[in-house]
Structure 1
């Protein structure tokens, strides 16, 4: 394997140098290479076919000597019939010079047999060419294609010369697609045509998307020195690849939302650097969470909850003077769940009007009592995952730097549960702010691109994460050095998540489409239409039986005509073996776009596969140190009252006295918080849910 890799690198170097030659040097190089190639081919031909000709000539001499009619001279010649074979095998250059210059030959019969062999070979090649032209080269038996005839359609499969216009052969950096004639084919890092590096991969469950595409392209990213961001629903990619990537100098981080004790921590409020970032933060959370059943409103409740969430986020991130401080999403939930409306109002009323949280909160405060309570309940329901201590822990600090992948080699793994969507909003926040930070970083560079390209391998894209406005992000990220690999199970899955309009925008932003395996009719019909129609030849045979007195008993006729046929029908696409894949290649600059029928290439065929080892260990987060003036105490939520059935029926619940927690910044020097704050009565009432159980409501 190392020898193959060395030859591949040498070939790539030769081709890259050849492209830099001037036209005159290219012509001279081609002429010299052609002359050497012809000379080598002639010597090889004489060596192989010449030896075969000597053996055949000797066989004829030996058979003639075995005849009962053979003369004594023929019998003597038969005894040494094969002596010349060894000489021809060991002296190819002498034979080539003698046969080329017409030197006097000891036995010219050998040369005649050699010429006859060339005649038979030419006849066989001509017959093969006719058969291939007649039957076509589809790879599907029973289909007679008409190459060059576009009467009813011109679709065809890509050949080696078509692949060479946009792809490179052999292992190396870039985007691996599969293999053609047992050679790996990949989109090179330096593109040969004007297209993007975004790829849409379609494959039904169990077809080997991770085995033959994701892992393989992690290897190609390592070869190209690219950063990697991978969605890993099963956690197997991180387990198998982490140690290998660390050995290659990568900064490896994992956001594990399944086994949170093995996760690095990430506080997404650290990404709020401006009020605009708070808008994005609130929009993503509202768009990717469920706030419980709503009645009418035309999106009113979502917008109201988004505005309140923005206000709370800005409040915990900025102190009264507008200076940045550390805030966590757990603090936001504690504010909502405290149940003390008056205390929270006083906190916001103490803010100066120019504070970024003041305006959004005052707008929310204008809602009536009933509306305000519903807004609080809805937002609290969306953030109820912060009742779990593990969720609070992994969002309290930041070990994952979203700017770093554009500066140095990084490998970030995002592990989300594929059985429930409870933590999907955290993954959505991760990818949303990753796009924002990387694009900002690229725009700050003089060339408008990242210093280190970033490859995003979004496995199970439609199942585990929903990225708001992804169709816009994938369209604009390509020019910044970010390539997105959208990996789905079927097109209906993508339509379900992103809608009938947005999914087509996502598809249009992907110059390359890889179809590994299809099981549904919708995707099969789409792929068949995209492949197009080709012109095929059909034949109809008829046989007429005539009376015995006629000139012939049977009269057989054959009519041939051309018609249209899909390059592959939907049922053929569904029945396609798992070892093959369909690839819609990017368009060459001056050629038509031709689909390719390739073989899949498993990651185990890479030389790097031998370096893999399992890496699975618990992770202790490295908590960052904040300056004292930026530190805040965590809000301690008031314990809710659990009402009894009698209380619910009579609407009578004893009030509970509780002290609202106070931030250090709100406690004046020399004062006692206990004397400054009054006890607040908190009423709790229970509302029925769809499941029939009660939930605690906050009557704000």
Structure 2
């Protein structure tokens, strides 16, 4: 324990010491008279002066003599020397604090310092304590949450804070319950809603990683994240050569798609990336080239994609073949139709999180965004998708902050539920340490402390240290109970002991002593009421309070907890061709009707009027989708389409093999080139072109006859 500081407060006694020295000098004046009997006259004058002082204790001026000032000086110096020596010899003492000073915090006093008077501007923790979201409290918004299964991590913490609607939110949502229950509130508050749904991609917004690559370094970070996310957890690290070779190969193709796809009238997305990867072959014949070789050969020698590809191809043939096979194996999950649908185009607009929506070409810096990442809690097959998203999201947020003096105009709070199942950026701990200045807060949520150790091993303490607040919602894990007990600290308590000695000379005694005791023992932590939680804030005494209840929030009536659940999906046109398969008198319920049935408990059946409206809406939606498809198709075609020959068009445009085959078949059917070009321009699909070929052949036969 540190030594006590010197207390200058004792110097307040110096005037008293000076007064006493002055009086003592006057009392002893007789003993300093010369040419007299010092003892007799001294005692006589001592008695006289004592009587005078007793009668007039404050008659100071009449007691002055030539020795008064030296007496005052000597007396004061003696006092100071004694005081300082006593301090230097004194042992460190903390009466009543010998074993610890832990205690529960005074909530009302802490609210005055740490809570905003406007309750909507706070982060909620307990029913009677909340923390302001800005820098006035001197704390970051990083919160580590520990809570076992069923402790209420969503219902008792994440949900109520989403309904505060005071920041942009990024929320990991296992199973999709958070989206369902709380999104309606955010919609009512004017939020933009973005959802990445790997459970049901049909209900997901699109996410195209290529839309957020701003510099070459971003490609390296994204590929590193892909490799991390597609490497099985717990897999033994082999020779780093293979991963580095895979990375080099993917870098070359990424750079090609990034800089050349649009010039080749190809969409700049993962579908193109996978298509080009599939062209990679190691040719057996000497001098033979693969389709991918020809692609890179056409590039300028200084092109970063070509330079990277040449580095990769400098390896031996068998080695390259192994690397290519390994890359195909690694990227196999990307071949899923649902995942490819997500990667087709970008609708996430990551810039909106910290800068607001785009209005007339400028970010409005006020419209908040809520982005939900829906993942399964029982299958990690596609968790590489949110891993890629989080990597790019933090890159974009930091880049956006640099536009505004390193401070985002809209605060962003990230709630990472089931943190252990998310592959975060490799530099996540650095992000945690620096995000406060960018107006970003992160909330990693764990079931127990062992999950943190499993992810970060020796750096687990760093993750906790980067979070100024810890919320414990309860749990039974022994390590967590011990950790919470130790974090709360020890208090000093009085211990009373008594003893009795029996017999002829019996006696009894009692004694009191002090001892240390944990504020809560591990056993008490484990038996904590399920309605209570503990909040520990840096620099403050801990708080023990009642957990939040999402249904008691003032906006709860707008949520799916009471009202209609939120569903995020695009309306799928009704496939009326399937109506013929419906049996007679069979009742048909749409998805909307089923949810209405579940909500109200009433039996709802489709009326004729409803079916007509749904059919009309489906037809309109189908027309709109067809219009959008044709627009995207024409965007792929060369700008000088009309001036080019059919051969030139086919050479400049990357069509699928099946489409190329049907075009060749049309030419072989002697359909005029102008008409074949019109097929392409009108975005006819293979089936329609086949039909046109049949019609043309019928007409040819008719003309011959």
TM exceeds 0.5? yes
> TM-score, normalised to structure 2's length?
0.63
Q: Whole-Å Cα distance in 1 between the matches of residues 308 and 249 of structure 2?
A: 7
Give the direction of change, closer, same or farther, for the CA distance of 1:322–1:496 in structure 2 (3 Å limit): farther
2:170 aligns to what SS in structure 1?
strand
1:425 counterpart residue number: 384
| Residue 344 (str. 1) matches residue 288 (str. 2) | no
| Residue from 486, 510, 513 that aligns with 2:467 | 510
Question: What CA deviation, in whole Å up to 9, does each residue of 1:352-391 have, x standing for no partner?
Answer: 1222211221111112122212211221122111222111
Question: What CA deviation, in whole Å up to 9, does each residue of 1:627-679 have, x standing for no partner?
Answer: 8797389xxxxxxxxxxxxxxxxxxxxxxxxxxx9973689xxxx9999xxxx
| Residue 575 (str. 1) matches residue 527 (str. 2) | yes
| Residue from 201, 210, 214 that aligns with 2:145 | 201
Question: What CA deviation, in whole Å up to 9, does each residue of 1:318-357 have, x standing for no partner?
Answer: 2289899732222322333346442211211221122221
1:600 counterpart residue number: 547
Q: Whole-Å Cα distance in 2 between the matches of residues 166 and 362 of structure 1?
A: 59
Give the direction of change, closer, same or farther, for the CA distance of 1:216–1:393 in structure 2 (3 Å limit): same
2:496 counterpart residue number: 539
1:664 counterpart residue number: 652
Q: Shift of residue 306 of structure 1?
A: 1.3
| Residue 519 (str. 1) matches residue 460 (str. 2) | no
| Residue 273 (str. 1) matches residue 225 (str. 2) | no
| Residue from 552, 567, 570 that aligns with 1:619 | 570
1:242 counterpart residue number: 183
Q: Whole-Å Cα distance in 1 between the matches of residues 141 and 515 of structure 2?
A: 37
2:130 aligns to what SS in structure 1?
strand
Question: What CA deviation, in whole Å up to 9, does each residue of 1:518-553 have, x standing for no partner?
Answer: 222222222222212211111222233344xx7xxx
1:354 aligns to what SS in structure 2?
coil
Q: Shift of residue 419 of structure 1?
A: 1.5
Q: Is the 8 A contact 2:111 2:130 kept in 1?
A: no
1:479 aligns to what SS in structure 2?
helix
| Residue from 330, 333, 348 that aligns with 2:274 | 333
Q: Shift of residue 467 of structure 1?
A: 2.9
1:466 aligns to what SS in structure 2?
coil
1:123 counterpart residue number: none
Q: Whole-Å Cα distance in 2 between the matches of residues 283 and 347 of structure 1?
A: 24
1:332 aligns to what SS in structure 2?
helix
2:690 counterpart residue number: none
| Residue 481 (str. 1) matches residue 439 (str. 2) | yes
Q: Shift of residue 169 of structure 1?
A: 7.2
Unaligned runs of 5+ in 1: 1-146, 588-592, 634-660, 676-700
Q: Is the 8 A contact 1:291 1:379 kept in 2?
A: no
2:121 aligns to what SS in structure 1?
coil
Q: Whole-Å Cα distance in 2 between the matches of residues 500 and 230 of structure 1?
A: 27
Question: What CA deviation, in whole Å up to 9, does each residue of 1:579-605 have, x standing for no partner?
Answer: 111111132xxxxx3111122111111
Give the direction of change, closer, same or farther, for the CA distance of 1:480–1:562 in structure 2 (3 Å limit): same
2:132 counterpart residue number: 188
Q: Is the 8 A contact 1:197 1:510 kept in 2?
A: yes
Q: Is the 8 A contact 1:204 1:490 kept in 2?
A: yes
Q: How does 1:58-457 map to 2 (within 5 A)?
A: 149-160=96-107, 161-168=109-116, 171-179=119-127, 184-220=128-164, 222=165, 224=166, 226-290=167-231, 298-319=239-260, 326-338=267-279, 340-341=281-282, 342-406=290-354, 407=356, 408-445=367-404, 447-457=405-415
Question: What CA deviation, in whole Å up to 9, does each residue of 1:567-626 have, x standing for no partner?
Answer: 222222122121111111132xxxxx3111122111111111111131125325997998
1:460 counterpart residue number: 418
Q: Shift of residue 412 of structure 1?
A: 0.7
1:208 aligns to what SS in structure 2?
coil
Unaligned runs of 5+ in 2: 1-93, 283-289, 357-366, 573-624, 639-648, 665-705
**Worse-superposed segment, 154-163 or 486-495:** 154-163
Q: Shift of residue 296 of structure 1?
A: 7.2
Give the direction of change, closer, same or farther, for the CA distance of 1:293–1:232 in structure 2 (3 Å limit): closer
Q: Give the superposed CA RMSD.
A: 3.1
**Worse-superposed segment, 573-582 or 328-337:** 328-337
2:163 aligns to what SS in structure 1?
helix
Q: Whole-Å Cα distance in 1 between the matches of residues 212 and 177 of structure 2?
A: 29
Q: Is the 8 A contact 2:265 2:637 kept in 1?
A: no
1:566 counterpart residue number: 518
Q: Is the 8 A contact 2:100 2:489 kept in 1?
A: yes
2:102 aligns to what SS in structure 1?
coil
Q: Is the 8 A contact 2:265 2:653 kept in 1?
A: no
Question: What CA deviation, in whole Å up to 9, does each residue of 1:205-248 have, x standing for no partner?
Answer: 1110101100011122x1x3x11111101201111122221111
1:499 aligns to what SS in structure 2?
helix
Give the direction of change, closer, same or farther, for the CA distance of 1:609–1:433 in structure 2 (3 Å limit): same
Q: How does 1:667-686 map to 2 (within 5 A)?
A: none
Q: Which has the larger radius of gyration?
A: 2
1:74 counterpart residue number: none
**Worse-superposed segment, 395-404 or 376-385:** 376-385
> TM-score, normalised to structure 1's length?
0.64
2:557 counterpart residue number: 610
Q: Is the 8 A contact 2:184 2:558 kept in 1?
A: no
Q: Shift of residue 466 of structure 1?
A: 3.0
